[in-house]
Amino acid sequence: MASPSAFTAVAIADDATLPRDVNTSPRDTWPQQFFVNALPRASRFVNLATGPLSTSDVLGREASVLPVLHARVAVVLVGLDDVAFRVPPAQFGQALTDVLAAVHKAGVARVLVGTLPAKAGSVLAAGTPIALYDDEIRTAVRAAGAVLVDVAAIDVSGAIDASEHVFYPDSAGHKAIADAFTRAYQAAYPQG
């Protein structure tokens, strides 16, 4: 039987959560570092990220399995693929609102949602600032009563994949994102 402090945590994300460069091992990705640094050792962690997905695809492929996982914590960083796919910010915001509603319906008590790394904006078409996506994230987070992790405010190193037009964090970028999620989690839930 699991200890009373044991629980399941999940990462809901697009493929920027997965290691993309040869110097980043799966253990070095931001969700894994968050799990190791912020959560009790007896916890279980499931990274639901599967590949290039728009946020509306995340709803069907990732959020749909939450009821069987009985997760207590969800860390969410979506939108990088939406930026690459040129999903309009308002459409992205509605999809994120739907994902967070599914997370809530699944009974996840602690939900942290990150804004997008500022460097992700370099793949956008002229006239579509990354701030429009971050505004949608902030609105969805407020409406869901989730914890905002301001990833846009930190330096996240990485590179644009020229073939996919997606920003991918490198090892240091994953660490910066993990540290931001860890600080936000510890501030919101000081008892662990």
pTM for the model: 0.91
Residue 110 CA to residue 104 CA, distance in Å, equals 9
* Spatial distance between the Cα atoms of 149 and 138, rounded to a whole number of angstroms: 9
Range of the domain at 160: 8-188
> Is 97 or 164 the better-scoring residue by pLDDT?
97
Dihedral-angle region of residue 188 (phi above 0 means left; psi in -120 to 50 means alpha; beta otherwise): alpha
CA distance 87 to 17: 19
- Domain membership flag for residue 142: yes
User: Does any domain span residue 19?
Assistant: yes
1 domain residue, yes or no:
no
- Residue 2 inside a domain? The answer is no
pLDDT digits (tens, 9 = 90+) for 81-138: 888 888 999 999 999 999 999 999 999 999 999 999 988 876 665 567 888 999 999 9
* Closest to 92 measured CA to CA, from 101, 79, 80: 79
Number of domains in the chain: 1
Q: What is the CATH number of the domain that holds 67?
A: 3.40.50.1110
The neighbour count for residue 46, using CB atoms within 10 Å, is: 17
